Structure 1
Amino acid sequence: MLTASLLSATVISAPVMALNIVLTNDDSWDTQNIQIMKSALIDAGHSVIMSAPCTGQSGKGGAMTFLKPVSVDETKAAQQEFCVGDTDTSVAFADYAEGTPVMAVLYGIDVAAQRLWGQAPDLVISGPNEGNNLGFMNNNSGTLGATMIALSRGIPAIAVSANENTAHDADQSERVAHTVVEVVAKLASSRPSGSPLLPAYTGLNINTPEEMVNNLGYKFTDVGWNGGGIEFKFSDDLSGDAVLIGYMVQKLMAGGMDQATAKATAQTAMQGKQGLSFSMGDAGDTNANSEGNAVKAGYITISTIDGNVQAARAKVSLTEQRLLGLN
């Protein structure tokens, strides 16, 4: 395990190596996390293009809208900030085109980066997400969807996911952004001359714990299956979902509502409503080195990922043996 203090000391002693970075997310361009992340990267000397969805696109995975024209908001082009996707909900469904994380990052890579740098970025950073993306949940994550499409282009990419408290706690957001800047600096200072930041088609999935002030340092982890202690289910009455109600209460309290009123409001709003819900569970994965367990314990986790859905060779061989004889 590499402690946070050791990594910090290494980074501080290393020269700044400016990179061209496309920054995206799945929570929209108008969020605290992405704005603070952009500022931190620029302060560290990097050139940054923000290309994100115009509206919240959490849980969209690798979704994309195609065979339709897509709106791009370039009103903040002078600040190298762009958002992708329609925002006028009065548009007919057949014509409405959402800007998913995959589409947003591709705009950054294929259009904005070419205009500004004349080439692909050195790095794509997706996040920080308002909520952790761990284990099996990575399959559904828009944060990871944008990361994977960048990896498919051979561009090094880092997915960053933080606790939900970063949606309204600027101090936590600042600490997460500083963590990412440290990791990027370490990658840049340690790479061989002329080499990319990471091996081809390889990325990182970084998750930060609830309390960054007292985090236990960096831990290199496996993705595993544990989604951080939660699993999906479909509920016929969302008012009984403790995780969902807790999330809504947190949002309402961030808007100034007291806790008791926020809880009553959330439960009334969800009473009798059906929809996707959460239950508590570890997906059968209690391995301390799985990122879902490690981030819950208080570590900043770093898992190495790639854009290939190929199973490990040992699993392939076992499966192929069972299928022998198929015509």
Structure 2
Amino acid sequence: MTRVLITNDDGIDSPGLVTLARAALRHRLDVVVAAPHEESSGTSAGLTVLGEEPVAKPVELDGLPGVQCHAVTARPAFIVLSARGGSFGDPPDVVLSGVNRGINVGRAVLHSGTVGAALTAGMNDLLGLAVSLEHPEPGELHWDSAEELAVEVIPLLLDSAPGTVLNLNVPALPPAELGPLTRASLASAGSVQTRLEQAGEATEVVTTVVDGSAEPGTDAYLLRQGKPTVTALRSVSEDPDFTWPAGR
């Protein structure tokens, strides 16, 4: 049976984590959940451990009876590497990361802890999927839409070559109003913005901001049309077009 690690960067208490685990369980996959014990947004593929050494505490999550779950004092990319090394039982074949509160689109995905976990999986010849849900403010989070689209995309991922990483973004619409799932390129527009959420506790929240110039056919552009998007990502690799100066 295919072994799947579910992780995120919003922390172990996020409903998006349960949403994504349920999508995997609907495909009868062997699921283990391991996620940061606290918010870890904007950490990219960072390997920070909170404390002298990582601590994994077993927890129970509502809606996931019988599923092994862990709250870990580390960032999502570190959790992926730990899982690959057998820290949470049999190593996973697949890493599903999310569902993130807020989209991860354009070149700003470089900074996302959600995407960073999926890319870390891909760099280690696992399959990776990052799932993010648009969160308008004020507005409703449609976790059911994210679950249905994850269910749709998981078979596509499972049929892909090892190292494949997909980035799924879900618009803020109920399932009945979603447009068709569309392959998209990365928007060149997009930036990451950090704001202080609770001044007393100095909690930083990282959000993706996309300006009005997103190009047609890109993830940011299509999301505005109500279309969920999927983008295949490639992590760090050599640049074959770089030319050394003469004599070097």
Gap change, CA 1:31 and 1:155, over 3 Å in 2: same
Any conservation in 2 of the 1:134–1:291 contact (CA below 8 Å)? yes
Task: Supply the distance in 1 between the matched residues of 2:132 and 2:206 (Cα, whole angstroms).
Answer: 21
1:4-153 aligned within 5 A: 19-65=2-48, 68-76=52-60, 79-85=67-73, 99-112=74-87, 115=89, 118=90, 120-153=91-124
Task: Supply the distance in 2 between the matched residues of 1:280 and 1:208 (Cα, whole angstroms).
Answer: 15
Structure in which a larger fraction of residues adopt helix:
1
Give the TM-score taking structure 2 as reference length: 0.82
Who is 1:6 aligned against?
none
Percentage of pairs with the same residue: 21
Matched letter for residue 245 of structure 2? L
Task: Supply the distance in 1 between the matched residues of 2:210 and 2:22 (Cα, whole angstroms).
Answer: 36
Any conservation in 2 of the 1:105–1:146 contact (CA below 8 Å)? yes
Structure in which a larger fraction of residues adopt strand:
2
* CA positional deviation for 1:121: 2.0
Please state whether the residue corresponding to 1:159 is helix, strand or coil. strand
Cα RMSD after superposing both structures? 3.2
Any conservation in 1 of the 2:105–2:208 contact (CA below 8 Å)? no
Any conservation in 1 of the 2:102–2:207 contact (CA below 8 Å)? no
Matched letter for residue 150 of structure 2? V
Q: Does 1:210 align with 2:140?
A: no
Structure ID, larger Rg: 1
Matched letter for residue 46 of structure 1? L
Q: Does 1:325 align with 2:246?
A: yes
Aligned length: 238
Please state whether the residue corresponding to 2:9 is helix, strand or coil. coil
Task: Supply the distance in 2 between the matched residues of 1:155 and 1:137 (Cα, whole angstroms).
Answer: 23
Task: Supply the distance in 2 between the matched residues of 1:277 and 1:147 (Cα, whole angstroms).
Answer: 18
- Comparing 18-27 with 150-159, which one deviates more in the overlay? 18-27
Task: Supply the distance in 2 between the matched residues of 1:109 and 1:158 (Cα, whole angstroms).
Answer: 16
Any conservation in 1 of the 2:145–2:174 contact (CA below 8 Å)? yes
Q: Does 1:163 align with 2:134?
A: yes
* CA positional deviation for 1:187: 4.6
* CA positional deviation for 1:36: 2.1
Any conservation in 1 of the 2:189–2:210 contact (CA below 8 Å)? no
Task: Supply the distance in 1 between the matched residues of 2:193 and 2:145 (Cα, whole angstroms).
Answer: 33
